[in-house]
Structures are given as structure tokens and as C-alpha cells.
Amino acid sequence: MLIKTRRDGFNHPAASEITPQAAYRQRRDLLRLMAGGAAGAALAAWASREAMAAVQRPGKLPALPSQPSAVAGAVTMEKPTPYEDATGYNNFYEFGTDKADPAQNAHTLRTAPWAVEIDGLVKKPAKFALDDLLKLAPQEERIYRLRCVEGWSMVIPWVGYSLAELVRRVEPLGSAKFVEFHTLADRATMPGIRSSVLDWPYVEGLRMDEALHPLTLLSFGMYGEVLPKQNGAPVRVVVPWKYGFKSAKSLVRIRFTEQEPKTAWNKAAANEYGFYSNVNPDVAHPRWSQATERRIGEGGLFAKRRKTLLFNGYEAQVGQLYAGMDLKKNY
Ligand SMILES: Nc1nc2c(c(=O)[nH]1)N[C@H]1C(S)=C(S)[C@@H](COP(=O)(O)O)O[C@H]1N2
Ligand SMILES: [Mo]
């Protein structure tokens, strides 16, 4: 059977339209995930991950994906970025500003014990221990693109569940219009926060409808394994239609607010990093075009750049959220 591709070369089939090849790949991945499966062994790997060096693969996830993704748009036919590239070329300024710094330095991050605090305009404020957060909803693998504002992109098989699952359970008040994400800022283990490049902690935010969109993922793993520290262990957000900096790593607090959150990058340079930061080839960054991108791990310096797609290729799924908005003003 031919894989039907859209003009843009990407394909976002509903679960029912997944081609045999994609279904095979998904089944194989699930089997691979489940092979790690006797819960005890997986938990042991989870517990011992602290002892592993950052360069080693961090081990299986304790909570296993239970089903292929049913979220329309969660599947891409593109080849995932090689693991070594996705874990060796990172932005995580708490561990340094060079792309190689997080892989070098993030081993000092302590991911256990870990808890995420939920507060602000919410009926059920709570503090979730990581283990409870992991089990809150069935996890699944979703292959999403991540597009950095610096002009590169990756394709990553993330593991997690829709952030909406968590939001629903804590019951935001009617007055809650935005969700604010706070990430860890620990001077003792994060060498990068001695620098004043950003105002720590790293804060990001979404409008409530964006946070509730099923594509917005609370992620605990990638490539079927626990998140490597440099990729935001033990829990991060992934917002696939926005520039990468919206995808906050190493989350410690989620706050519901009435006001638009003051985000770290917006505070650092408001004219360069707006609140929305939707991937948009027609809105240039003040210092460079956003029309094309370089796929990391693909053919080095001479690889052809790809055309960047509106909403990173997820327009069919998320375009409606911005109906009637001027995306040049709301960049
Ligand atoms: N806490 C925190 N989260 C962060 C960042 C950061 O510096 N600190 N960098 C962001 C940026 S700019 C990008 S492109 C992505 C990179 O994610 P990756 O390293 O997993 O590819 O993480 C985002 N989340
Ligand atoms: Mo980025």
C-alpha cells in the first residue's frame, strides 16, 4: 500500500489510517517497550538511573505505554532523529549555553525524589510525587517534531500522556485563563544558573485551550526509555506546534493564572520571543528568517534545508485555536 503523503511531505493519519508499515513500526516499538516490561525490572532500572552516567542510556520506563496513540496528528512518517543526536545536541541553559553542554553537565541533576506542585486558580491544588504523576494516565509513544527557534529541528518519539489528563483532574477555576510552568532552579546542581542569561527559574506558559489541546504532551520518556537528564528528566512539557523553548524541561510547578505568564525568554528579549511562539515560516525572528530549517542528524553541513511548515506541520490539528488572531502581531 502506498503511503499517502501531503504536499508538504508529512502525513498525519488518524489511528485508523495508519499504514501497514507504520502499524508495524508502532507494534515493534510497543513490543520493545513491553519487553522491558516485568514491572519489577523496570522499576529497578528507574531506581538505579541516578547511578548512571549521562552518556549511558537511562533505562526503561516504569509506566509502559498501553496503546498506540489515538491522538490525530500524533504520528509522523518521518524517520526519528538518531538517539545520539537527540541527546547530544540540546538547549538546557541551566547546564550551559552550548549545544554540547547539557549532555556534558546534566549528570549532576538529581531527579529523585521529585514532585510537581499544582497551585494557583485551581479547585484541587496538589503536590504530585513523580510516581503518582507517572501513573495518572496511560502513557503512549508519540512521534513529534521539535523545531527550535534557532532554525533546526528533530523528530523524536516521546512517551507520555496529554497534559489535559492532569489539568482535568485538578479542576481549574473559571477564572484560570493561562497555565504557567516553572522548572527547577538549583544552584548546587545546575552550573548554568550562575549566568544571568535568563531570569531563573525558567518559566514558560500556555493559554488554557493550548494546554488542554490533546497534542500538548506531559512527557516522561523518549525512544521508549526514561528521559535523559539533558532532555528534561524526569518530566517535561512538549508542545509540538511551537518553538522548542515553550517545551519546559524538568518541571517542578504548574500554576493556573488569570494573567498571561511572564516567560523567561519574553523577559529576556520581548521583541524576539513572544508569548505564542507558534512555528511560523512567515514571521521572521528579528535577526534571522524562520522560513527553513535544518534537520539534525541529516547529512551534515551540506544537507538541504527543509521548508518550515506553519504550526510545524500541525495546522490541521491546532489552526482553529488561533482563528481570527493576527499571527504577525501575536508572534
Ligand atoms: N528548563 C529549560 N527548559 C528548556 C530549555 C531550557 O534552557 N531550560 N530550552 C528550551 C529550548 S530552547 C529547546 S529548543 C528545547 C530543547 O529540547 P531537547 O534538548 O530535548 O531537544 O528545550 C526547551 N526547554
Ligand atoms: Mo530552542
Task: Supply the mean pLDDT for the chain.
Answer: 85
Q: Facing residues of 117 across strands?
A: 127, 253
- Which residues have beta carbons under 5 A from ligand 2 (an ion)? 91, 148, 244-245
Assigned domain for 330 exists: no
Give the ligand with the smallest distance to the CA of 93: 1
- Report the nearest-CA residue for atom 10 of ligand 1: 245
Q: How far is the CA of 327 from the centre of ligand 1 (A)?
A: 23
Q: What are the CA-CA distances from residue 32 to residues 42, 46, 61, 235, 273 (Å)?
A: 13, 17, 11, 21, 39
pLDDT, tens digit (0-9, with 9 covering 90-100), for 144-162: 999 999 999 999 999 999 9
Band (6; pLDDT cuts 50, 70, 90): very low
- Report the nearest-CA residue for atom 15 of ligand 1: 244
Assigned domain for 206 exists: yes
Assigned domain for 3 exists: no
Q: How far is the CA of 148 from the centre of ligand 1 (A)?
A: 9
Q: How far is the CA of 69 from the centre of ligand 2 (A)?
A: 26
- Report the nearest-CA residue for atom 7 of ligand 1: 92
CATH number of the domain encompassing residue 305: 3.90.420.10
pLDDT, tens digit (0-9, with 9 covering 90-100), for 82-114: 999 999 999 999 999 999 999 999 999 999 999
C-alpha cell at 226: 526514561
C-alpha cell at 197: 542569561
Assigned domain for 256 exists: yes
Whether 93 lines ligand 1, by a CB cut-off of 6 Å, is yes
- Report the nearest-CA residue for atom 14 of ligand 1: 244
Provide mean pLDDT across the span 41-69: 53
pLDDT, tens digit (0-9, with 9 covering 90-100), for 272-316: 999 999 999 999 999 999 999 999 998 777 789 999 999 999 999
- Pocket perturbation via mutation, ligand 1, pick of 81, 92, 94 by most ligand atoms within 8 A of CB: 92
Assigned domain for 44 exists: yes
Whether 331 lines ligand 1, by a CB cut-off of 6 Å, is no
What is the span of the domain harbouring residue 173? 15-322
Assigned domain for 209 exists: yes
Give the ligand with the smallest distance to the CA of 252: 1
Whether 245 lines ligand 1, by a CB cut-off of 6 Å, is yes
Residue spans of beta strands (DSSP E) within the chain: 115-120, 126-129, 140-147, 152-162, 178-183, 203-207, 217-222, 225-226, 236-238, 251-257, 292-295, 306-307
Q: pTM for the complete prediction?
A: 0.83
| Of residues 52, 22, 295, 3, the one with CA closest to residue 153 | 295
Tell me: pLDDT of 128 over 90.
Answer: yes
Domain count, the chain: 1
Instruction: Please report the atom of ligand 1 found closest to the CA of residue 230.
Output: 19
Distance CA 294, CA 292 (A): 7
Instruction: Please report the atom of ligand 1 found closest to the CA of residue 201.
Output: 1
Assigned domain for 71 exists: yes
Assigned domain for 328 exists: no
